[in-house]
Amino acid sequence: MIFLTRRATFSASHYYWNPAWTEEKNREVFGRCANRNGHGHNYTLEVTVAGEPDPVTGFVVDLKWLRDLIEREVLEAWDHRHLNLEAPEFAETMPTTENLAIAAWKRMEPGVAAAAGAQLSRVRIYETPEIFAEYRGQA
């Protein structure tokens, strides 16, 4: 089994706010991330696909195909957007880096599964160079 990773970057804004909580509790838990007009990050997305290299092409999947999948499924929806206001999956769910990793997985998994012989193995998202989250499809 070979693991192949493609990296992509996107920029987006967000804020953290739980509407079930008071303003005071939101401030206490989320700090500056609760500022209501939001803030932004340059995110780096790493998508890891696992499979056996094709005997003819030597590819697990075509990297161009994977790049296009990432752009179509994730970047078109999130790049240069406000995640809370414009991405449907974050209308009710907090756009934390953990939830971004899970949502990116859900967006891409059907497309990767449809490509013969490969499976999505890991999605990692860096919010800054020091902070990242990942999802491996676990329940």
Partner 1 sequence: MRAYFGRRYMLSASHRLHSKALTEEENRATYGKCNNPHGHGHNYVVEVLVGGAVDAETGMVVNLVALDQAVRTRVLDRFDHMNLNLDPRFSDRVPTTENLCRAVYDLLKNALPAGELEHVRVEETENNFFECYGE
User: 31: which DSSP letter?
Assistant: G
58 neighbors 17 (Cβ within 8 angstroms): no
Catalytic: which of 89, 109, 127, 134?
A: 127
- 80 flagged as catalytic: yes
Q: Are 17 and 26 in contact (CB under 8 A)?
A: yes
CB of 101 to partner 1, least distance (A): 6
Check if the beta carbon of residue 28 is closer than 8 Å to that of residue 66.
no
Written as six digits, the tokens of 113 are: 């599964």
Active-site residue (options: 33, 82, 89, 134): 33
Cβ at position 117, least distance to partner 1 in Å = 26
Pick the closer one to partner 1 by CB: 54 or 134: 134
135 touching partner 1, by CB under 8 A: yes
Count CB-CB contacts under 10 A for residue 87: 20
Q: Which two tokens stand for residue 130?
A: 């020091």
> Does the annotation count 92 as an active-site position?
no
| 42 lies in the binding site for partner 1 (CB under 8 A) | no
- Sites for partner 1 among residues 51-110 (CB under 8 A): 93-99, 101-102
Nearest-approach distance from CB 18 to partner 1, in angstroms? 6
What is the C-alpha to C-alpha distance for residues 132 and 124, in angstroms, rounded to an integer? Answer: 7
Give the residues lining the site for partner 1 (CB under 8 A).
16, 18, 20-21, 29-31, 93-99, 101-102, 124, 129-136, 138-139
